[in-house]
Structure 1
């Protein structure tokens, strides 16, 4: 019994001695120069639709948000700190505003990313018409989307971009486009012939060119992902676009979202108009 008590007492004394050593070491350290301050963090807010929310790669949080989203993958790189991730599956230029995404932005925001516009032009309707409809329905669907891209989308984007600039006056704004969904060189996909796939890809090009032009008018940067996705359409052997039978049909796969992340990352490596707009909070 006494031996146990003595052992415990000596162990306690040894522990106290060790604590005392730690204490004195800390005392000495306080005289040393303070560690360098961490670099300022870049306050980052991510807005947009399902392509921005990471839809297609579950599990999902609210609004179809996924950990695969390019915004989540970028968090921590380039000193980025993802402040508000408010992208929401299904968003259009109008519902992005009505749904309150702009509330994420303020004078402290350093970087905004934005992917939106595809849902404004009935994009999915044309894709479905070409996959399961007649040739005439496909042609009509593609023409309808093309006319909405030309006639309606520029003003919708100009309005939204002006509101984004107003809500985040000091931010660098990076707008991403959309990939082409098909690789026609791999042949027909469901009811969509290679020619029909090319027509849909042509509409994707028009969508991207319209978004790029609006971004330029607003003084925003456009990140084009078409080159990254080339050869990785829904009907390619190494598809980066989920196929028609997937619950997240025609959204990026995990590899597709990594391609988005890489494209945005590459754009951020190049200073925009000279520098990051840093605020030291």
Structure 2
């Protein structure tokens, strides 16, 4: 080979190598992959009450779509106000993703369920009507104020608000829990439907308020359909379990799957 041609080949090879190194140093592929700081807020449904914390839905979501759980501060019994005073401090301008499940304790939902289990249908109907009044008249203002503060605390975060499941599957008949040979708790099919309708109203109210603030709402109703507390394949703990009417391991997993399937990675901050 002519020495001049060989020299040109060597120079070309050196130039190409230099170009490749310089391009590689600025390509995103060579940088550390972007992760998204995630904070989980809310009540016992978000805290995973009744299951090991590692099985709660924030940990089910952790690591997916490069979402990295930073602060897991959801706690059993939280109301909208106690969430603001006890959990909001974890949010800041570096927070990329926030999940919130809250509102059920503000309407004393547990008291309604107890009334329907222990008392006749008319008493249940009155309790449900009262809680529905609280949902429509009082809850929106609480949530509006909370969502405004969340946005101020985490101005660039993608905020996801979850709803609550229906507790019962009326297609499986009455939910009866014997307490002794002479007494039992029972939710008739009619009572179950009334409580499910109230849950739908609660979810609709949360959705409307969340979306008005630009937050994403994730509905878990479909994933729990057919898996109410009286189902042979329940996603919820029973009334005599340590965490009655809360998602069990399967239920928490379904919450996590719902979040993973509905969060669009392209909507997260780049």
Structure ranking higher in strand proportion: 2
Name the residue aligned to 2:227: 232
Distance 1:167 1:45 in 2: 12
Segments of 5+ residues of structure 2 without an aligned counterpart are 1-20, 177-185
C-alpha displacement of 1:270: 5.5
1:253 pairs with one of 248, 266, 269:
248
Structure 1 counterpart SS, 2:266: coil
Task: Map 1:4-83 to 2 at 5 A.
Answer: 36-58=30-52, 66-83=53-70
Deviates more, 1:138-147 or 1:33-42: 33-42
Name the residue aligned to 2:13: none
TM-score, structure 2 normalization: 0.84
The size of the alignment, in residue pairs, is 236
Structure 2 counterpart SS, 1:169: coil
1:120 aligns with 2:115: no
C-alpha displacement of 1:47: 0.3
1:131 aligns with 2:123: no
When the two chains are superposed, the root-mean-square deviation of aligned CA atoms in Å is 1.5
TM-score, structure 1 normalization: 0.81
Structure 1 counterpart SS, 2:246: coil
Deviates more, 1:38-47 or 1:195-204: 38-47
Once the two structures are superposed, what CA deviation does each residue of 1:96-132 show, in whole Å capped at 9, x if it has no partner? 112x200010000000000000111010110110111
Structure 1 counterpart SS, 2:155: coil
CA contact (8 A) 2:121 2:190 kept: no
Distance 2:266 2:173 in 1: 41
CA contact (8 A) 2:65 2:265 kept: no
C-alpha displacement of 1:135: 2.2
